[in-house]
Structure formats: C-alpha cells, structure tokens
Chains A and B, each alone.
Chain A
C-alpha cells in the first residue's frame, strides 16, 4: 500500500460485476507487472466468481457448485481484492467519480470497469410473471429448477438454443417430462445448419423430450402458479415449470442512466473504453463495432485488452475471433465454427453416415476453411478450427479433408481398388449388417448381375441405399467386364439414388422433412439443389398430406405466386372455368379486370380458358381478389398440378352426344382440382367418339359412348405426340370419376418428379396400370380413398389465401428509393 502515493491518479479501481469477464480481466491484470491498485469488486450475486457455462452440468447433477468455482475466497484475499458480494451499484456519479451502492454507501474510483453482463430475455406474454416461470442464468435459477424437478411433473422449456436444450436435458435427467418449444423450424439454428439441426432434434427426442418447432408461445397459463403453456396454434402443453431460454440482452441500465453512450449494449472502442475515458466496460454488456458477444472466447479476449490498457501497456485493439460452439449434453456431440452458410458442391465438402447418425460439413472459400459443422463425430473439430484460424490453404488435401486429421498423408484411393482390397468380413451394408464376403458369394453362387438382384438376395443396400455405389463396385470387381453398369439415373448430383429409390425411402423410413431426407439418405450437399429441392418437396407433399408443411421456397416461382412468369417478368393469370364453361357475369368480371389493370393481352387457351397476359407482379393480389369476388378461382395453369378438363357440349346440345360430357367434365374437374402432381395434367371428356375435345392426346380422358364411358390414358400433344391407349370401360359416371381419380393417385404416388403421365405409363407398362385399376377392385378403392384424403388438405384456392394477405411480401418491393422520398415497405 505504500506505493499508492506513487501513482495516486489511478490507484482506485472499482469493478461492477463479478462474472467471468470481470474475473478474467482481473486475473490478466494481476499477472502483469503493473502499478498497484486498490481493487473493489461489486457482485450482485452472493457468491464468488464461478464458471457460468458449467451451470448445465450442475443442473444435470454431473457437477457440484464447488467444481465450477473459478476464483475462491483465497484468490480475492491473495490479490487484495475487496469483494462486496450481494451488493449492487445503483448509480454512477461521473462528475465526482463515485459509485453508489444499493445500501446508500458512496465509493470513489479513479478507474471504473462496468461488467454487468446480460439479462435473460423474458418474452412478454401473459403469465410470464407467474410463479414457476424461471430463466436460466445463474445458480439461483439452477436451484429453483432443481427444487421443481424434485417434485416431478411437466417442464416446458421455451427456446431451443444452446441453453434451452441444456436445461431440457438436465431436467429430463432429473425425471421431469420435458417439452421444448422453439420458434424456428430447426433447433440451434444460429449454430447449426438444417441437417445437423435435424439430427439434434432426433437425439433430443430420443431422450423422451418432446420437441415443438415452428411453435410460438401465446401465453403462460395458471391462476397463482404456472399450469401450462399455450401456443399460438391453440395447442396447450401442461407445465409445472417453465424455463425461458430465448436469449439474453446486455445489461446496460446503469450505464444508460449514467449518460454513457449505449445502443444495444454499452458502446466501447477497440480498447474497451466507453464514452467516458475513466470508465471501461467488458463482457456481455458491451457493444463493440455494432456487435454484442455472448460466447466466452471473445469475452476473454476483451478482458485481455482491458487489463493490458489498465496496466498502462499499449494493447492491440480487440478483434472478435471466430468462435466455436459445443453443446454440453452428455452423449450429444456437435461442433460448429465460423461461417457455415449454405453453399454448393464447389465450396463445401459433406460426409454423411446415416446408419451412425453422422454429419460432417466443411465450408471452403478459395481453398481455405471458413466454417465447419460436425454432428455425431466431432473429433476433428479442433483441427478444422485450427486450419480456419491459420487460414491455411487446404487445396492439396481437399479430397481427404472430410475424413479428418488421422487420414491425412494417405493418398485418395481408387474406389475400385479400395473395395477389392477390403477383407471378406468388411461390412458393406451397415443397415442390414451385410459383409463383403456374403455379397460376393451371393453374386457368384446365384449368378447375380444387377444391383436389384443383390438387393433381393442379400438385403444389401436395400434399406438406406447409401452403400449402393459400393455394391455396384463389388458387382463390377467380381464380374469384371461381364458387369454392365445399370442405367439407373441418379435423381441429381446430390445423390446416387434414383427418384424411385428416394420415394420408397421417404415412405419406408417415414421421412417427413427436407433435412430428414437429405440426412437419412446421405445427400452429398448440405441443402440440395434447384433440381432436387422441388422434387423432394413434391414427394413429401404427396407422401404426408396434411402433415408436411409445404416449403414454398423450394418451389418454382410460378407455383410460389400462382401465376406464370413471362419473358419480361410479368405474369399471366388464368382463372378456372370448370369444364371450359363460363357465364356472362364471369366474362364481364374478366373484361373489367383487364380494363382496370390495363392487361396487354387477353387470349383464349387450348384448354378452354381465358388467359390474362402481362399482369404486373405487384397487381396480382388485387387481380385475384377481384376475380374471387366474381366467383373465379385459381386455374392452376402455372403448376405441376391438374390444370384443365376440356369438354365438348355433349348430349345437352349436340345431336351426336351420347352422355352429358360437359357435366362429367365439370364434376371431374371439381373432384381433381388443387391436387399437386409430378408434372402438369391435362384431361378431357368427349361426348362421342368424334372426339371434339381431343381426348386422345390428353393425360387422362373419357370418351362417352352409348353404353357408358371409355377411359383413355397416356396421350401427349407437345414435344412428343402420342395417342392415348384405351385402358378400360365403365358403365356409370360415378365409376368414371372414381377410376380417373385412382389413376391420378397412382401416378402421383409412383412417378418421378417432372415425368409426364405418358412417360410413366410407358415405364410401368399399360398392363400394370390396367391390372391395378380395372382388375383389383380393392387396390382401386384404396387409391381413391388416399386421393380423397389428400384432397381434403389440397383443395383450397391459393388466390383467396393470397388476396387475404398470405405471404404478401412476395408482391411488394422491399423498398422504393426515389429522388424525393423513400418508402419503406415494412
């Protein structure tokens, strides 16, 4: 203390906050050869500095509080720090350079460090202040959760980020029935991409925790204490305990009231100085260059800069470094670092092992690692992180990079030689446990020549299909030149599987989301491509009607905005005219709309509709609203869907007509409309074999004859011209409707995306279609039932939804910048 007089101008240091950032700053300071200081630390919590990050293991019962103490009492004594625990500072008097405690005491400082950390964000819903609602921030919270867990019951954790999941896992371990409610579509979306988020959700669910994604909390229910959580979609989850873990915000109240410059946090410069030269700030409460930090690594870097400045050194300014994330839940291994934004095969390397639940992705720019996401096998996380920090050129090891550090130095093998070199007991098919020896002997003993033969005989590659490539290599190495590679056409460059494979697995493995399909089927890219995204979206829509949430961003623009894009970026609008029949009122409405919106062209289409061409995108909702008002709905002329049923006038007027073809066409169109199909569908009904409505070049058509109805399929009159085949004959209108719907459903369930019906029929053979529809009554009725079920969710007018405001962002510009005034859209 005798030295204080030597440095009187800056000898008294007061620190507000006793968390990890403050503790680290002092530690750094004391380690330096420095001028002595009289240090006083105020901590709002009644305890010493502990490792807040380790609260999750304490909650889980894997560690005790003593295990996570960073600075014990002895440390404060040894360094001459006066620790005032449980005492808060309520005011800073900058003019007199004094702080005031809650107890009314005033204390002078020469330098002041604000390290007030952050406050947990509490979403402002009704009931948020009920007893039993806690946050997850300090040891008191852990004790409250622990007490609640001892009574058992239901816990709802709001927030599926790092903290929320750790809280959920801890509470589940203590025997509570836990649900996690998360606003976004995937868990931990800030640290993980969708594929890793999918695996995480699977692992969390496997612990008996219910995960609700896309779930927005409406209210917390209860009279005196919490009884449940109500979601905005109306669902109610029972709860005896609610944990809010939706994020943190910098605790800047003290600094704000002292008049320091604050935005989201307390604004500091590169040297951690606030707008007052004698006041510094560090940790989660600060905002540096517009950014707030919540992970420990940058906070410790800040502490270092701050200590260096306090010690009178000339520190390098704070530069936020890349940070990595790990989840502290025993048994769940995940790691992410840096920039793991979406990319394609040129800039990312992806490795998936569906059988073992592994997903690894390394993101590159200019041959340097800029990010990594690892799930299931995180052993190489530190290695990738190191390469990233060093910004090392990995071009030379790119081919083997994804296999990890242990694999480096070896050269990439010729895949054929690698398979040939495997021992007989090497497992090829992980799902079914089939070894190389078993496959090779099956090939030789049974004379197998194709992948499907091997699948049938051994089950190898019959589950997830991942090893199909290896099995083909085995066929090739066993049979030599006798093996002709199959003409299996992979769906796209993201996978080796065919469309048919993928559709099969979506059903057999009950895959219900794009990330689920991509992970479980081992997609080679992280997010798919413009070719597989719409295909998978269709397969999921078809396989899980009413359950799968249509991903509009995976759809082509025409289906996203329910109109056909034209070469100049305008759209064409085609209302449905059932069976090609319209009324004077409808025509007047169409004419009025064409006038009002100055539609450049009104044209009659080949499918007996009226096309309004050249409508500007921003006018679409208004055009639809007015068409709706006249009773006109979307004609789906833009979609891979049922477009038109063309009819002739039939028995009502025509002297040759045998049945009411117009009436049947209208009924048919009303039954089938709204259904998504692999490719566009055009139908027709003719009243007699003269066939004025051109049934014989339609996908499905009905030709009325005296004795009933002939059902035709597989016509085309576009790029290819193909006359229909007669599939069969039915006696009644009712039966004709059922048969057409059953054909449509079979096509929906089996065809590859973008495969027109005639191509699919040529592929499966007319006989198979006929056998299913006309010779197997049960099969036909089952198809019909599935079609009706699917229609319950599909048959709605997308125009009405849009005119009512759904996804309005599609039709309004984000902003208009004009010389006079700028108008923000939202």
Chain B
C-alpha cells in the first residue's frame, strides 16, 4: 500500500472515530426507539407492544379502514397547509426586511424576531388562550365597544389552534428564510430599476424568484412542524381539533391501545416522508 492511500485510509478512520459518538447517540435515542415503535405497531395486544410475541396487521387494518382516521389524517394535512401558508405570508416581509436592511440594529432586530423561541411553546399557547379566550382581550374589547352582543368563539376550535401555531412557528420560518435568501443582491435590483422596472416589477421579477428557495424551505419546515404538533392543537382546540398527534396521545394514554397508537405514529411518519420527498422533487424541478 502506498503512503498516500494509507493516509487516506487513516483519515477515514479518524473521521469514523469522530462520527462514532454522534452515531451511537442517534442510534440509541432515535433509531432504536423508532424500530421499537415499528415493532409495536404490529403487536396484537398492549403488552405485546413491549414483550414481543406475535405479529399482526390488525392495527393497520383499523387505521386504514376506519373513515374517522382518514378524516383525522385529512384534518392534519389541512391544518399543516393552512399554518404553513399563513406563517410564510406573515414571516416573508419580516425576513425580507431583515435580510435587506443596512441598519446597524440589524443584529438586534434579528434577535428580536427569533426571541420568542426562548419561551416554551406551551407558555405561548397559554398566552394565546388569554388573548383569544371567551373573556380574553379581544372579546372584552369587542364587548366594551359594543361591537358584538355575545362572545365570539375565537378559541377552543381549529381557528384558535391555527392562529397560535402560526405565531409559534413564525420565528422558525424567519430563520429558514434568512438562511435561504443568500442570492438576494441589491445590485440586481438597482440594475433592474435603472432599466426602467418599477418597484412592483423589481419585486415580482427579481426579489421573489431569488427568495423562492428560502420561502419553500420555510414552508416545508413549518408544515412538518405543524402536522406533528400536539400541545397547541390540544390546548387551543378545546378537544374539537382531531389531528394525528392528539389521536396518538389518546390511544396511548387514555384507551391504552399502544399498537394502534404506534400504527398511527408510523402513518404520521409515512406522511412526513412522502411530503418531504415530493417537495424536494418539486424544488429540484423548480430550480432546474
């Protein structure tokens, strides 16, 4: 073996050694539980989910043949879609401003935009309950101004869950967009303006296409976060929002049907991965 090959071999070994702790940690905390979850979804009884035993497809049969679970899956996708669209629309101007501003406060402003991440999403959900509740800020203002007679139901339904999720995911969307806005270049905008393009045209022909990768990444990120959300839909939905996350929780802790909960989780994973695959295909096609 020549020295060059040996050193390449050696550096590969070093690389492997460096990766090992991370791989082991991932394997123990992520891959192993996932395999176990997969196994549990084929168990015939709650106890079988732990101790092995027989294999059966009955949980999948339940999930796939019961129209209610199709409805739940549909609700989950609709919630994810709505949240992703509105989060992106609301975050886009903020991200664009932060990316283009030359203010010396830029760092501070960016920090402010993502500061909500310092607070747990549970706390922020409770904040929204205070704002949207029957005796919350909005309802008491409306009543004080005599704009409404009774209470306007703003929470304990999917509207409340959607609103809270949008606000909670906005910092993620802003961060994802900022990192995806690398291709934005003010010189291009100036050139377009010099050639006679008005501001709208500059936006639609230059800024929007160049920022699209960031926008699409943010949309995907928020969509995936939203369809796996559990706490906010549960607290803000008043029990009326049935999504995969809440159903998994119910089956696992209330009715103790662990195999069914596992099968629903696998379904959620399948949903995730198909969305990501389709999305990345589309993204690549768009960029080509």
The finding on whether chains A and B are genuine partners in a shared complex, rather than unrelated, reads no
